[in-house]
Amino acid sequence: MKVYKLFFILIFLLQFISCTEENLTSTNPFILLKSGDEFSRTGDYIPIGGQIKFGLSAVGDGAAITNLSIQRITDDNVITELDKGMYIKNGGLDTTVVFMKGAAEKEVWKFSIMNDHRDTASVSATIYKGDGSAYGNIDYFPAITIGYQNNNSLPFYVDLHTGNAYDNSSISGNEASIDLVAYYYLNSGKSSPTLSCPAYETARFYHPEISDWPSQNSILYDYETTDYDLISEDEFDAAQNDSLLVSAYIPTSASGTCKFCFSGKIIPFKTENGKYGLLKVIQADEFDSGSIKIDVKIQK
């Protein structure tokens, strides 16, 4: 065996030694609040229940934006209204967010972004409480019945803004308005009537047709309020404006799916376009060809 042959073999193998060390350079992401009449600005006075609307624009300085966090800071409390993971590699972040003015005299709204180098940037706006109140009207859609994944007769998909329900034959053209789907399964062996949304991955497992839709809405269900029964059926029945709908929703315990939706559960939610609402479960079957019946109250 000639020595040069050994060299060739060694060099061939050494080609594949590569260093995988992380070498993240420092970056300077940037975020700003959009100006314009449609958006709230620092120093604005907005009555309790009134709409606060911010336009956000952010760039990651060559790195992907991976997190947007929004905090409502009052003298007494810090509430994280949104803490959302994302991956925006090109073009930056351009979004509008809508909230309701709370009871505090002064709210500092802090908007922070992080990129995938874990570099951060933030911007703030201060909103004061205006006179009076501006709680809004609500829509009420009683007794909507939806089929689980193996139900052959009932509709599967619900537009919570109108209360309309669709099946696979009637959904065409209405996909973009669907907020809610339901399915039934065993979670760690426990029976779980489940509410979800088209954008949620598991929902597409039980309703595979959703994968072919041109768009899939998300929704956030507050599972903490649901699991611990923080809102009673009487309170739900008594709600005449959106006060309860807004205040009941706990943003830090929200998910695109809500498990164990048994009869009597009251479930706060927030739709993709920022509407708050409440669901009341009237009746929930515990088999996958069954159905779930709900009452819905949602901001107009």
Partner 1 sequence: MRKITLLILIVLLGLGKLCAQGTIRGIITDAKNNNEIAFANVSLNKNAGTTSNDSGVFIFENLKPDRYKLSVSFLGYESYTQTVTLENNNTIVLNIKLNPINFTAEEVVVTATKTENHINQVPTRINLISTRQIEAIPAQSTDELLATVPGINISRSFGIFSHSSTVSMRGLDGQEQGRVLVMIDGIPTNKTDGGSVNWNLLNTGQIDRIEVIKGPGSSLYGGNAMGGAINIITKKPTEKFAGKASIDYGTYNTMRGQVFMNGKLNEDSDKGLFWNFSSFYRQSDGYNSASEADQQANPYLVKSGLQEFGANAQLGYNLNKNNGFDLNVLYYDDDRGTGEQVFQPQGNNREHDSYHIRLKYFGEKQNLKWNVSLYYLNEDYKRISEWLKDDYTFYKVLSERIDLGALSSVSYQLNNQRLTGGIDLKQGSVDAKDVYYTSSDVVYNRGKMNTLGLFIQDEISLLNNKLKLIGGLRFDYAKFFDGGFEIKDPTSETTFMLNYNNENIEEDSWNALSPKLSIQYNFNNHQRIYANYAKGFRPGVLDDMCRSGRIRGGFKVSDPTLQPEYINNFELGADSRFFNKLRTSVSVYYSIGDDFLYYVNTGDSIDLSYGPRPIIKASNISKVEIYGLELEANYMLSNNIILNANYAYAHSQINDYKPLSSDDPIDLTNKYISNVPKHMGSISASWRNKIINVGISAKYVGKQWVNDLNQFDEIILDDQYPDYTSVNLKFSKEIKSIFVNLNIQNILDNKFYNSKGAVNPGRFITLELGMNF
Given the rule CB under 8 A, which residues bind partner 1?
Answer: 1, 5-6, 9-10, 12-13, 16-17, 20, 64, 66-67, 69, 80, 83-87, 89, 114, 116, 118, 120, 185-189, 199-202, 204-205, 208, 211, 218, 220, 223-224, 227, 252-260
For partner 1, which is the closer residue by CB, 89 or 106? 89
Contacts of 81 (CB under 8 A, 6+ apart): 70, 71, 72, 99, 251
Distance in Å, CB of 279 to partner 1, minimum: 16
Backbone phi, then psi, for 7, in 5-degree steps?
-60, -45
3-class secondary structure per residue, 193-216: EEEECCCCHHHHHHCHHHHHCCCC
Q: How far is the CB of 200 from partner 1 (least distance, A)?
A: 6
- Residue among 52 and 203 whose Cβ is closer to partner 1: 203
- Smallest separation, CB 240 to partner 1 (Å): 30
Q: Is 5 exposed, middle or buried (0-12, 13-18, 19+ CB in 10 A)?
A: exposed
Nearer Cβ to partner 1 (2/153):
2
Q: How far is the CB of 241 from partner 1 (least distance, A)?
A: 28
**Cβ at position 230, least distance to partner 1 in Å:** 14
How many Å apart are CA 64 and CA 61, to the nearest integer?
A: 8
What phi and psi, each to the nearest 5 degrees, are found at residue 186?
Answer: -100, 120
Give me 52's structure tokens: 């606060």
Of 182, 191, 154, 159, the residue nearest 257 (C-alpha)? 182
**Alpha carbons within 13 A on the beta-carbon side of 211:** 8
Least separation in angstroms between residue 157's CB and partner 1 is: 17
d(CA 153, CA 104): 49
